[in-house]
A and B are shown apart, each in its own frame.
Chain A
Amino acid sequence: MATVQATKQTQLTMVQALQSALVEEMERDEDVVILGEDIGPRGGVFLITEGLIDKFGADRVIDTPLAEAGIIGAAVGMAMYGLKPIAEIQFIDFIFPGFDLLVSEAAKIRYRSAGQFGVPMVIRSPYGGGVRGGSYHSQSPESYFVATPGLKVVVPSNPYDAKGLLIASVRDPDPVVFMEPKKIYRAIKSDVPAGTYEVPLGKAALTREGKHVSIITYGAMVHVALEAADAMAKEGVEVEVLDLRTLQPYDTDAIMHTIAKTGHVVLLQEAPRIGGYTGEIAAFIAENGVEYLEGPIVRVAGWDTAFPYALEKAYMPNAQRVIRGIKKTLNF
């Protein structure tokens, strides 16, 4: 299903993988334009668009005034006209000035126009903690977007997926909120093919196989799940890790498959627990797969507070908390 056209593999960071997706899509289709704050000569604050303005010019790499409502609104208007805008919101914590345009317009125009108008756009934005960013540079607001029919929500966890998911998002006919785990931007490298390939939206990845318990998670938390899995392996517990990759629409088959296999599930998210995304997954499992469960559905999440600066370590879910969660469901 992933259509790999090129074979040459290079070890890339997520930043480099995302950039190669942007470059390849812009080379492929001249209607693809990108817009956002400081994305031109500055290359974006995380350098994902570095050098693109020299390659594609200021009509396709559009440095914008500092107004998220303008960025998202303009992208919606461009998309309806026939361009394929990729908007960058500098930090997802700052998407809220443009929230109305996203949830009231981008998400609803297809429905409201009875399919006459589509809004094929992508909003890329770094999210998540672990970078000493405090309340306004660390949040994980995915549940707002997931609760809005009409939006797709994608969260990659590694460079390979980041590239393939971004390419698939650009080609998708509907608006996609593409949340990039900024903690992972340069933290790991993985093999990334040099050519174009898609990682299909709506399909989870089985990142690690195991038979005793499943961790279902996404984004930066995949790495916390893997750390917990390594630790549990030493105790003889084989942990399966399912990386959802797309939160809306999500891969119901993969979820059913893993719970049928292990009978135990830990749901892991960085965002606060109440109203958090994994509550949806818990409800789905309870509605559709309760017969497979041999223990409670356990959630491991951020605390139900704002995101702190100095106490970030105490805030974010870590392997210890995941391990406690695993034991809670296994020892039921």
Chain B
Amino acid sequence: MDIKPFTAEPIRVLAYDGTPVENVDRLGIGKDDWLKMYRWLVFARAVDDRGYILVRQGRAGFYAQIAGQEASQVGSALPLHKEDWMYPDHRSQGSMLVKGLSAAEWFGHVLGKMLDPTQGRLMPHGPGRNDLHIVPPSSTVGNKITEAVGTAMAQRIKKRKEVTITYLGDGATSEGDFHVGMNFAAVYQAPVIIFVQNNQYAISMRTEQQTHTKTIAEKAKAYGMDGYLVDGNDILAVYLVTKHCADKARAGGGPSLIEAYTYRYGPHSSADDDTRYRPKGELEMWRTQRDPVTRMRKFLETKGLWSEDQEQKLQADVKAQVAKAMEEAEKSPAPEPITVLDYAYEQLTPHLEWERRELAAELGV
């Protein structure tokens, strides 16, 4: 399949109904990969659904769902290698799970438990894990791009065959850091993939209120970079485009911008009311006609690779896995109050030592 930048229509392998529009036997990925992708889609959705319930139960303060964007997240993380670096944004749990974060750690993060590798330091936007090369996201929209480029510059300086991927939303492309990051990436030909999930909304603001260009992908041209527009609900297309960009970066071909055109099902976050701004019928249309999980399932069915029995078994397995992960997270202790002073610096400064004595006295420890 010829993967071209700057197409007017999103790059697609599967039509909305799951019928292939490309010769899927010549994509370099086969049956096992397809099945693996589908399992990941189902798993990511199940974990996310379960996580969101924690807010409704009053056990978590915040949650930003990935529902609707599973193919963008899973499909872009699967081509990455273990040593590659990932800079997630505030809506990237699907990508993090694929990179190696466990569901139990994710739930631990949402609940603010010690099982969270970041020990509950950030609101539940996503944790980080150093050994997996997952950098903790920030809340400042768009500000991790330049860092991701710096990591990629370091990978190039150290002559490692690695790539860095950084995730952002359509809204983040309006921030100055997007421009700065794109420019740095291109100037240094850094092995970085700037992956924009265009879910069509930045809270209530639609993409056309955010930018006057038709696509986000075309912005890459201004920086001397290739920009790819891909159907973000087509996991095969997302996978292939991301792999193409990763291979290119590893071979010294520099950075790429990917715009995955997708749709957010949930409110912006648990604190949002999306009925105020979403046109009637739009959500239903995406859910019923463009769903990324259903599309892949239909594809497997047309290929004769998936049956109702297999579906039920998968759903039951995933349910059990999710329940087990939640149990593990619930059992994990909360961070000790005395640790609130740790990690501001590598070592406590004299002032922090003094504050630690104050706090220890207050806590009676």
A252 touches B183 (CB 8 A): no
Query: With A75-B150, A77-B151 in contact, do A116 and B180 touch (Cβ < 8 Å)?
Result: no
A206 at interface (Cβ–Cβ under 8 A)?
Answer: no
Residues of A in contact (CB 8 Å), total 47
User: B105-145: contact bitstring with A at CB < 8 Å (1 yes, 0 no)?
Assistant: 00000000000011101100000111000011010100111
Among B46-54, B201-209, B285-293, B346-354, the stretch in contact with A: B346-354
B154 at interface (Cβ–Cβ under 8 A)?
Answer: yes
A-B contact count (CB 8 A): 148
User: A79-111: contact bitstring with B at CB < 8 Å (1 yes, 0 no)?
Assistant: 111110100000000000100110011000111
Query: With A67-B183, A113-B136, A116-B128 in contact, do A74 and B147 touch (Cβ < 8 Å)?
Result: yes
Query: With A69-B180, A70-B181, A104-B143 in contact, do A116 and B117 touch (Cβ < 8 Å)?
Result: yes
A114 at interface (Cβ–Cβ under 8 A)?
Answer: yes
B129 touches A174 (CB 8 A): no
Nearest residue (CB) in B for A33 is B157
Contact of B180 among A60, A70, A104, A113 (CB under 8 A): A70
Nearest residue (CB) in A for B150 is A77
Q: How far is the CB of A104 from chain B (nearest CB, A)?
A: 5
Give the interface size class of chain B: 35 or more
Q: How distant is the Cα of A52 from the Cα of B80 in the complex, in angstroms?
A: 36
B136 touches A69 (CB 8 A): no
Q: How distant is the Cα of A226 from the Cα of B281 in the complex, in angstroms?
A: 75
B349 touches A116 (CB 8 A): no
B326 at interface (Cβ–Cβ under 8 A)?
Answer: no
Q: How far is the CB of A197 from chain B (nearest CB, A)?
A: 21
Enumerate chain A residues within 8 angstroms of B119, measured Cβ to Cβ: 114
A110 touches B345 (CB 8 A): yes
Q: How far is the CB of B177 from chain A (nearest CB, A)?
A: 6
Query: With A67-B183, A149-B344 in contact, do A113 and B121 touch (Cβ < 8 Å)?
Result: yes
Query: With A73-B181, A78-B150, A81-B154 in contact, do A112 and B344 touch (Cβ < 8 Å)?
Result: no
B176 at interface (Cβ–Cβ under 8 A)?
Answer: yes
Q: How distant is the Cα of A9 from the Cα of B138 in the complex, in angstroms?
A: 47
A113 touches B184 (CB 8 A): no
Query: With A110-B346, A114-B119, A152-B345 in contact, do A82 and B143 touch (Cβ < 8 Å)?
Result: no
Q: How far is the CB of B349 from chain A (nearest CB, A)?
A: 4
Q: How distant is the Cα of A72 from the Cα of B145 in the complex, in angstroms?
A: 11
B187 touches A65 (CB 8 A): yes
A100 touches B143 (CB 8 A): yes
B residues apposed to A, CB below 8 Å: 85, 117-119, 121-122, 128-130, 135-136, 138, 140, 143-155, 157-158, 164, 176-177, 180-181, 183-184, 187, 342-346, 349-351
Could you pull out 24 A-B pairs where Cβ atoms are within 8 angstroms? A33-B157, A65-B184, A69-B146, A70-B149, A73-B150, A73-B180, A75-B150, A77-B146, A77-B147, A77-B151, A81-B151, A81-B154, A83-B158, A100-B140, A100-B177, A104-B138, A113-B128, A114-B121, A115-B343, A116-B129, A117-B130, A152-B345, A173-B345, A174-B345
8 smallest beta-carbon distances between A and B, as pairs: A73-B146, A77-B150, A74-B150, A249-B349, A77-B147, A77-B151, A114-B119, A81-B154
